[in-house]
Amino acid sequence: MRRVALVTAVAAVALGASLAASAAETAPAEATAGSPRWRITQTVANLTVGGLWAGGARDAWLAGDACADPATCGATDTSNGTVVVRHWDGRAWRAVKPPKAYVNTPLDQGAGPVVATSASNAWIFAARGVQSVDYTDALHWTGKGWARPVRLNTAIQAAVAPSATDVWAFGPPERISQSGYVTHYNGRTWTHGGFPITGDAAGSSSPTDIWVGGEGGRLGALGMEHWDGRSWRATRLPGLGTGPLALAFIAGIAAIGPRDAWADATTYSNSGGFSSYLLHWNGRLWSRIRIPFGAGADTPVARDGHGGLWLAGSIGIGRQLTFWFFHYSGGSWTRTPVPRAGSQPTDVIGGQIAWIPRTRSLWATGGVVTNVGVGTAILKYGQ
């Protein structure tokens, strides 16, 4: 069950209807021939990825869901059945079997955010329900096995783990009186409560520098909250879009330091128009940069390891819809096509992207069609 089921799917419908209206914007130059390129490292049939995290060249996690048995989840429905967890050890994506209760079940389930601090400390937020997400189970991998799941009474959308004993997770409200939901793990216990925004995306550079973005108290209003180690504080975002907004979301946050954070946001107006932006925090205020090419931002934004940023998105409408990786560096944009899986496009709407620390490489995922139905392409940039 991808995060797209809760936020991005709505955006994708609006995207197809409105991208053409923005395509007239002048497009910057594309990436030059011979420059480093993205490549598909492998495709995995019957898998939908909902979370991706990278900690180094030999440590990365991804999680999603697969249809374990057509009798329980349907021949073409892979939104429930079995939670899938894989760990990259520097040579291959190794399968990590989830707890038995998350294998071949009739529940509608999947995996959302994935956060970790090492190969022996990872958290998978598994969404579960009958016909929709009713709650989330936090699954903790200890290196020796899975700890007892922790029930969270909402659909967790974003999470960060600045340290092994410091995990935050966010989502829509569990009660109608709340705007959003937050839960915190201090290494021993979980605490839960309301939050000023829905918490659609989160990023951190340290335990005292955490950002959370999402919808505020009214439809189409975005908010951005910052944790400094002692308290949460709202920060003001620049104006996004024109006129009343029908929908707004933040796809991801790349927190580099207390005076340097980036987010990618998309807003949709009631008239059907849309705008996608990079947002930058300089330690005092947020500024905005319009994403060019008539493009929509469909994945989180991620660092490139040498001062720039990557994100993926789509351009066009209907059969003209194409998928691209966009790179921003030094005030300039380039784009490169998302590699195809054979003759099929790799759909990055709702996809994942993660910088591999201490390198100039990144992991990413996208949806593909395989000979047995839907699947996932695992992509990598760099060596």
DSSP 196-238: SS---EEEEEETTEEEEEEE-SSTT-EEEEEE-SS-EEEEPPP
> Dihedral of CA 88/378/76/200: which sign?
positive
How many CB atoms within 10 Å of residue 9?
A: 13
- Cβ-contact 77, 139 below 8 angstroms: no
Q: What is the pLDDT of residue 108?
A: 80
> What pLDDT digit, counting tens, does each position of 320-355 carry?
899 999 999 999 999 999 999 988 899 999 999 999
Confidence of residue 86 (pLDDT cuts 50, 70, 90): very high
> What pLDDT digit, counting tens, does each position of 20-46 carry?
333 223 344 444 545 678 999 999 999
Domains of the chain and CATH, by start: 3-381 (2.120.10.70)
Task: Evaluate if residue 361 carries a pLDDT over 90.
Answer: yes
Confidence of residue 65 (pLDDT cuts 50, 70, 90): very high
Alpha-carbon dihedral angle through residues 149, 151, 152, 156, given to the nearest 10 degrees: 40
Closest CA to 365 of 356, 376, 374: 376
Q: What pTM does this model have?
A: 0.89
Share of the chain above pLDDT 70, in %: 85
Decide the pairing of beta strands 209-215 and 222-227.
antiparallel
Closest CA to 158 of 168, 166, 149: 168
Q: What rounded mean pLDDT belongs to the chain?
A: 87
What are the contacts of 325-331 at 24+ separation with CB within 8 A?
A: 325/38, 325/364, 325/381, 326/291, 326/293, 326/295, 326/297, 327/31, 328/278, 328/289, 329/304
- Cβ-contact 223, 240 below 8 angstroms: no
DSSP for residue 338: P
Mean pLDDT of 186-195: 96
From residue 316, alpha-carbon distances to 20, 274, 329, 332 in Å are: 6, 13, 24, 22
- Cβ-contact 127, 111 below 8 angstroms: yes
Closest CA to 46 of 5, 14, 10, 74: 74
> Dihedral of CA 221/223/213/325: which sign?
positive
Q: What is the pLDDT of residue 85?
A: 97
Q: For the chain, first and last CA: distance in Å?
A: 30
* Residue 24 burial (C-beta neighbours within 10 Å; 0-12, 13-18, 19+): exposed
Distance between CA atoms of residues 208 and 162, nearest Å: 9
Distance of CA 145 to the CA centre of its chain: 26
Distance between CA atoms of residues 324 and 335, nearest Å: 6
Torsional class of 354: left (φ above 0), alpha (ψ -120 to 50), beta (otherwise): beta
How many CB atoms within 10 Å of residue 326?
A: 26
